Structure formats: structure tokens, C-alpha cells
Amino acid sequence: MNLEKIRKRVRGGFRPFVLRTSDGREYEVPHPEFIAIGKHDLAVVDKDGDIDILDLLHIVSLKLIKSKNGTSAL
């Protein structure tokens, strides 16, 4: 996954999304305050307040979270 694509998703008209890693784990980012982007990795805070640090080389996709009516959440 390209770091600039993640930055654009966070900074420009944020919509909740999920990051998927190469081992299949998923990390939900419901709000910009739940993610911090560094030079070579990023940190995601989960709903329990725990922080996961992810290597950008292992992030394989970014998927927008769908709302209950089937459209992308705003």
C-alpha cells in the first residue's frame, strides 16, 4: 500500500476505513484520531485503546467501511 494514499484518505475528506495486512489481520480506523502515520510505519489505536504499529510494507489494502444501508460511511 502506498503511504501517500493512506495520508490522503486520512487528511482529505476522511471516511472510516479498514487496513488489511499481508497476514490477513484487519485494523479499523473509524476516525482520524485513531491513526498516526510515520515515515516507515503507522500506528492504529483499537477500541480498547491498545496501539498496533504496522510496517507499511505489510499493508496490502485499504477498504472503506460500508454503512448499514450499503453505502460508504461518511
Domain boundaries of the chain, sorted by first residue? 3-64
Q: Are 65 and 72 in contact (CB under 8 A)?
A: yes
Handedness of CA 24, 28, 32, 38 (dihedral sign): negative
Q: State the pLDDT confidence band at 69, using cuts at 50, 70 and 90.
A: low
Winning range, highest mean pLDDT, from 3-7, 61-65, 68-72: 61-65
Q: Are 42 and 51 in contact (CB under 8 A)?
A: no
The percentage of the chain sitting over the pLDDT mark of 90, rounded to a whole number, equals 69
According to the model, what pLDDT value does residue 4 have? 87
The percentage of the chain sitting over the pLDDT mark of 70, rounded to a whole number, equals 89
Residues listed for the chain? 74
Q: Are 13 and 72 in contact (CB under 8 A)?
A: no
Residue at 65: amino acid letter: I
Secondary-structure class of domain 3-64 per CATH: mainly beta
Q: Are 42 and 6 in contact (CB under 8 A)?
A: yes
pLDDT in tens, 42-53: 999 998 999 999
